[in-house]
A = this chain, B = another copy of it.
């Protein structure tokens, strides 16, 4: 494990690390923000951020403006890359499949199966690594954007008891029912749509054994609404009696300008749950 960047930031430190992942069989990078208390060695909760299509570990840490809120609440924030990468790793010319588009699943199909194990990576390997090497308390929250909003919802729903809080910005809430999701799930998991169920937040909500309240922000002018389907998320939560605070933001789009505008509210939401 090698630290490849470190920058003082709001009294804490933004770092980037690279390590050899046994989940993906490739080097993986992640950003980690260590708030002042963590730098003093106090064990602090960890909030995991999952990024969207085309992103790597840099987008969130350079553009979201989360560090001042992480510092104020003394939370660690970890932001991994969105897929395995490298010359020996399967890829696709399209931006919405392959490298930069792992969808946080464990792929079963060729040519993806050998390396595309992002669910194992974000839900198991990465938290274990962080809790071993940093001043992490073991209390975890998870959030993300777009493909990473899907990842956050699905990862929390698949692992009851593992996270204390979950939220998302403009998540792909019903991947089985939209073009981005259908393409990726068919490639990674095969054509049988029954196998997609366990990777689809709207479908998992129906009989979720844990009932973490969902906080979701959605820009009303988001250019990808038909890929995200907050309407299906709202309906699924209503049908399941699952608490959803869906904040529809007039004028906002899908960009990091939208994320930055509301990241403070999301970090505060997680801080409340993680302090409880």
Contact surface of A with B, Cβ cutoff 8 Å = 7-11, 13-14, 62-63, 65, 67-68, 219, 221, 249, 251-253, 255-258, 260-261
Contacts and interface: CB of A to CB of B under 8 A. Distances in A.
A7 B65 contact: no
23 contacts: A7-B252, A7-B253, A7-B255, A7-B258, A8-B249, A8-B251, A8-B253, A8-B257, A8-B258, A8-B261, A9-B260, A9-B261, A10-B260, A13-B251, A14-B257, A62-B62, A62-B63, A62-B256, A63-B63, A65-B65, A67-B257, A68-B260, A68-B261
Nearest to A63: B62
| Most chain B C-beta atoms within 10 Å of own C-beta, residue among A68, A256, A257, A260 | A257
Contact of A10 (B7, B8, B63, B261): B261
A62 B64 CA distance: 9
Nearest to A62: B63
Task: Sort A-B residue pairs by CB-CB distance and give the 9 closest, nearest first.
Answer: A7-B257, A8-B251, A9-B257, A65-B65, A8-B252, A10-B261, A7-B255, A62-B63, A14-B257
- The copy count of this chain in the complex is 2
B8 A219 contact: yes
A67 B256 CA distance: 12
Contact of A260 (B67, B249, B252, B255): B67
Contacts of A256: 62
A249 B219 CA distance: 37
A34 to B, nearest CB: 12
Nearest to A67: B260
Contacts of A258: 7-9
Contacts of A257: 7-9, 14, 67
A256 to B, nearest CB: 7
Contacts of A11: 261
Contacts of A255: 7
A186 to B, nearest CB: 32
Contacts of A9: 257-258, 260-261
A266 to B, nearest CB: 14
Contacts of A221: 8
A260 B255 CA distance: 19
A111 B256 CA distance: 39
| Most chain B C-beta atoms within 10 Å of own C-beta, residue among A14, A219, A251 | A251
